[in-house]
């Protein structure tokens, strides 16, 4: 039996510039961090004649890989499974499609468990991202897989030739504790398929649409000021940069935001939040806000009016984990 897990992530700046449609032309840069919310996969040799029994998107049995409902599991098993009967079960700390990289974390954890050898975090991230990008043809980048496999605060650089390089971002322990207190997540109540939202953006970037390119250029440039704010411990500036990121991101496509999210965001700012953005591709999921301590209760009350509960979390440097029992 084995148990593997991988963290979810928060993308702080540069999100979207890792998409191949942009990165292969201009190079991309993303700054993000792993959190203590995770996806866990359990696997064991099956004691039945059924080839696969899986509790993934839904519970059921299958006599072949193609019979599985979960596309990520299908592709991972095709690539990394030895063919012996297996029971699989997965669980996540947040709903899928909520902008925190849960599909990438699932792929990272599943590849780690299915592989017959220990993989480096870089190799694990490349293998997991290959499931989505090459195997399933999804219009996504590799930032989620790298942040999930490696953990910590990282700046990722996506070269035009497809290479990925990683820099550690030094954030002092007292700054991390302040961010834990002042950055809050609220669930919008809406989940979505990131591929559908990112597909619009990828098509616009790939076609050379000038407005999309200009916004992505500026989003990429925000990684520098955000890194400076993190390293000097200026959490208020982090909030302002998140807000600018969201202003730019909303112009990338009609499906990036929702009217209800825009109203809730305006009310959060009026209650004292300094800035924030929807995580991931947008279109729903989690809204990340920077909220000074004095405004915490007011913002919480404002979000409650919109039916958007708070999701507790903390930053956690741990990347993917695997235990064989």
Q: What is the mean pLDDT of the chain?
A: 89
Distances (CA, A) of 94 to 89, 129, 248, 284: 16, 20, 26, 13
What is the average pLDDT across 11-15? 96
Structural domain for 162, as ranges: 2-170
Domain containing residue 151: CATH number: 3.30.230.10
Task: Locate the DSSP E strands across 239-305.
Answer: 275-278, 286-290
Q: Rounded CA gap, 230 and 1, in Å?
A: 40
Taking residue 149's Cβ as centre, other Cβ atoms within 10 Å add up to: 32
Tell which wins on pLDDT, 35 or 139. Answer: 35
Stretch 125-129: mean pLDDT = 97
pLDDT 10s digits, 208-253:
677 889 999 999 999 999 999 999 999 999 999 999 999 999 888 7
Domain with residue 265: its CATH number is: 3.30.70.890
Structure token digits, residue 195: 């591929």
What is the C-alpha separation between 286 and 100, in angstroms, rounded? 8
**Angstrom distance (rounded) from CA 147 to CA 140:** 14
- For residue 319, is it within any domain? no
Domain boundary among 170, 191, 225: 170
Residue 52 has pLDDT above 70, yes or no: no
First to last CA, the chain: 5
Please check whether residues 159 and 252 belong to one and the same domain.
no
Q: What is the pLDDT of residues 166-199, one digit of tens each?
A: 999 999 999 999 999 999 999 998 875 655 555 5
Are residue 7 and residue 120 in the same domain, yes or no?
yes
- Give the β-pairing of 286-290 and 183-187: antiparallel
User: How many domains would you assign to the chain?
Assistant: 2
The CA distance from 12 to 222, in Å, is: 9
C-beta contacts of 260-268 below 8 A and 24+ residues apart: 260/188, 260/306, 261/188, 261/287, 263/306, 264/186, 264/188, 264/302, 264/303, 264/306, 264/308, 267/302, 267/303, 267/305, 267/306, 268/299, 268/302, 268/303
Q: Check whether 155 has a pLDDT greater than 90.
A: yes
Residue 50 has pLDDT above 60, yes or no: no
Looking at residue 61, its pLDDT comes to 57
Are both 71 and 194 inside the same structural domain? no
| pLDDT confidence of residue 57 | 45
**Same structural domain for residues 11 and 149?**
yes
d(Cα 197, Cα 184) in Å, to the nearest integer?
Answer: 24
Q: Which two tokens stand for residue 144?
A: 């989620």
Residue 219: predicted pLDDT:
96
What average pLDDT does range 292-313 have in this prediction? 96
pLDDT band at 87 (very low <50, low <70, confident <90, very high): confident
Residue 319: CB atoms within 10 Å? 21
So what's the pLDDT on residue 251?
84
Q: Would the pLDDT of 82 be above 70?
A: yes
Q: Are residues 306 and 205 in the same domain?
A: yes
Closest alpha carbon to 246 in 225, 261, 267, 229:
261
pLDDT at 144 over 50: yes
Asked whether residue 14 falls in the same domain as residue 129, the answer is yes
Residue 101 has pLDDT above 60, yes or no: yes
Look at the pTM and tell me if it is higher than 0.85: yes
The two counts, helices (H) then strands (E), for the chain are 12, 12
Query: Could you tell me if 214 and 135 lie in one domain?
Result: no
Residue 98 falls inside a structural domain: yes
Q: How far apart are CA 243 and CA 269, in angstroms?
A: 10
């Amino acid at each position: 039996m084995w148990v593997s897990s991988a963290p979810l992530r928060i993308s702080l700046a540069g999100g979207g510039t890792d998409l191949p449609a942009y990165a292969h032309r201009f190079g991309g840069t993303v700054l993000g961090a792993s959190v203590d919310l995770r996806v866990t996969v359990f696997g064991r040799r099956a004691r039945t004649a059924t080839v696969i029994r899986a509790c993934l998107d839904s519970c059921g049995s299958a006599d072949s890989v193609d019979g599985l409902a979960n596309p990520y599991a299908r592709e991972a098993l095709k690539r990394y499974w030895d063919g012996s009967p297996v029971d699989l079960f997965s669980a996540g700390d947040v709903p899928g499609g909520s902008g925190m990289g849960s599909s990438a974390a699932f792929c990272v954890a599943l590849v780690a468990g299915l592989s017959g050898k220990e993989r480096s975090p870089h190799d694990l991230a490349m293998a997991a991202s290959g499931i989505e990008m090459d195997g399933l043809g999804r219009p996504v980048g590799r930032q989620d897989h790298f942040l999930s496999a490696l953990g910590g605060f990282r700046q990722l650089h996506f070269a035009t030739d497809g290479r990925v390089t990683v820099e550690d971002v030094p954030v002092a322990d007292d700054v991390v504790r302040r961010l834990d207190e002042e950055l809050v997540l609220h669930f919008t109540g809406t989940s979505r398929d990131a591929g559908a939202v990112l597909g619009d953006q990828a098509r616009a970037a790939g076609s050379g649409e000038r407005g999309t390119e200009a916004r992505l250029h500026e989003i990429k440039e925000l990684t520098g000021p955000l890194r400076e704010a993190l390293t000097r411990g200026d959490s208020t500036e982090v909030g302002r940069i998140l807000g600018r990121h969201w202003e730019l991101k909303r112009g990338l496509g009609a499906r990036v935001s929702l009217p209800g999210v825009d109203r809730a965001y305006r009310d959060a700012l009026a209650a004292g939040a300094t800035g924030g953005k929807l995580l991931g591709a947008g279109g729903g999921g989690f809204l990340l806000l920077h909220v000074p301590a004095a405004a915490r209760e007011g913002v919480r009350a404002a979000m409650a009016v919109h039916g958007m509960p708070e999701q507790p979390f903390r930053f956690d440097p741990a990347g993917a984990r695997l235990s064989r029992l």
